[in-house]
Each structure stands twice: as structure tokens, then as C-alpha cells.
Chains A and B, each alone.
Chain A
Amino acid sequence: MLLIRCPWCGPRDEVEFRYGGQAGISYPSDPDALSDEEWADYLFMRDNPKGEFRERWVHAHGCRRWFNAVRSTVTHEIRATFPIGEEPPA
């Protein structure tokens, strides 16, 4: 089981968390201006890197807060977790 560090609660068992997919995808500022293709791209298309991936997690059975993580899709190592709106440490 992974040990995931909630930015508030500290390290907790993976079962306390839920996964929220790729981080940093903003709602379009002017949705009406999007073509169908652009709208589909916003809704469905996600990066699928081999290596570091910035993603969202929620501490569902703890403080119930969303946060961001940088996780390697190869090793599952989580390099950093940090509040949404902040940058990960270099």
C-alpha cells in the first residue's frame, strides 16, 4: 500500500484517499467560443506520460481536502504533495 502525505494531515494509508486525475486543467474561460473538437479535448483528452505526472488526490476519509501530487507513473513514487494553487518544490 502507498503511504501518501496529505499536505495537512501528513502521511496516511492510500485507502484514505481517492484519485482525481490530471491536475491543472482549467474550465474554459469562454465555453461558447469552443468548437466541438476543442470542447471534447477539454472534457476527455488527458496526458499519459511515462514518468512524472501532476495529478489531483482527495483525502476522502480524512480531512476531505483536495490537493495536488507529483507521482511517477513508472515507480509510483510520489515526489511531492502540495495545496492546489501552489507549485511543487523543485
Chain B
Amino acid sequence: MRVERARSPLVALEGDLARIGAREVAFLAQVSVRVRPPVDALELPTEPNTWATDGERELLWLGPDEWLAVSETLPADQLAGRLERALAGAPHAVVDVSAARAVFELRGGDRLDLLSAECGLDLHPRVWRPGVCAQTLLADVDALLQEREGSTRVFVRPSFAAHVVRRLSAGIG
């Protein structure tokens, strides 16, 4: 249940985020899904490091039997409930992990250069294009990157977010 006065983890970083052309994606519902594919009732992307959407939720590949489901329209309990129903019958685990990661979105045209300064992944548009995602190191800490049409989402531990944003803004001098 969302409390009216709830504070998202990155409110204090609004200015720093704006400097790098980013904004927080606050209160994104995030649900961990563990199941062995295939699952008939769910279109799980099985190609490693890709994500798929059915409109109301996105499913990001995290491992051969692990995905992160996110939604901006469904609250976490409803998202989890629908996943639970889709997976009924298969051994599975569905857990609300919305508080585990803070999320911000970079929209600038130079965002991949900005990220490349702090990330060893090949972020050239030839291979890094909308529809891919990857868990990797960003500014020396664990991060999940998701490439969307015209933007890149960055998922990090809330307590590491200030560090990551500062390191990224150091790159624009």
C-alpha cells in the first residue's frame, strides 16, 4: 500500500540527476520471479540479457531461471498476484523486491558515452540497443541496465545510488 507521504530513495538527488539528464523512476513495482522455463502462461524472454513487455509489465532476464518483473502501472502486490496466478502449477518463487533497487532513467543523446566512462560493457549502439538489459558493474558497484527506446534505466542498491550518480556526473565536468 502506497503511503501518501512516502519518500522515494532518490528525492535528495533530484538536482544531481538533472545534471546528467536523468530523473528518478520512483516507486517502480519490482518483483523477482524464479521458475524453470518454459511457462505457458508467461512470455519469459529466454535469450540472456534481453527484456520483453506485454504493455502492463516488463520482464527482464536476470539468469536462466530468474527474471525481474517491473511495472509502472500495477502496484507490486497486484503485479506479484498476477505472476503467482500465471505460474500456478510450476515450482516457482515470486517475491516483491521493490525496495531492493533505486531506479533512474537517463534520456540524453550522450547517455551511453556517459555510462561507458564508468562501465566495462560494450555499450555501442551496434550491440546495445532497445530490448537489451544487463547486470554488470557501474562505477564499481552492481547495477542492472535496461535499454529502452530513447532512454536507459539504471537499477542500483538505494544506498549506492548517490555514489553512482556522483561518479556519472564527474564525467561531464
B48 x A12 contact (CB < 8 A): no
CB closest chain-A residue, reference B138: A61
- Of listed A15, A16, A63, A64, residue having the most chain B CB within 10 A: A63
CB closest chain-B residue, reference A8: B48
Main secondary structure, interface of B, reads strand
Residues on the A chain within 8 Å of B76, using CB:
none
What is the bound-complex CA distance between A13 and B48, given in angstroms?
17
A61 x B135 contact (CB < 8 A): yes
Query: Could you say which interface size class chain A belongs to?
Result: 10 to 19
What is the bound-complex CA distance between A65 and B48, given in angstroms?
12
Say yes or no for B159: interface residue by CB 8 A criterion: no
Say yes or no for B169: interface residue by CB 8 A criterion: no
Residues on the A chain within 8 Å of B135, using CB:
61-64
B48 x A9 contact (CB < 8 A): yes
User: Given known contacts A8-B48, A61-B142, A63-B48, is B136 in contact with A16 (CB within 8 Å)?
Assistant: yes
Say yes or no for B156: interface residue by CB 8 A criterion: no
A61 x B136 contact (CB < 8 A): yes
Partner of B63, one of A10, A13, A15, A64: A64
Say yes or no for B87: interface residue by CB 8 A criterion: no
What is the bound-complex CA distance between A65 and B62, given in angstroms?
10
A63 x B63 contact (CB < 8 A): yes
Partner of B137, one of A9, A15, A65: A15
Residues on the B chain within 8 Å of A12, using CB:
120-121, 136
Which chain A residues in 22-76 approach chain B with CB under 8 Å?
Answer: 61-65
Interface residues of B (CB under 8 A from A): 48-49, 62-64, 66, 120-121, 134-137, 142
18 extra interface residue pairs, beta carbon distance < 8 Å, beyond A9-B48, A12-B120 = A8-B48, A9-B49, A9-B134, A10-B49, A12-B121, A12-B136, A13-B137, A15-B120, A16-B120, A16-B136, A61-B142, A62-B134, A63-B62, A63-B63, A63-B64, A63-B135, A64-B63, A65-B63
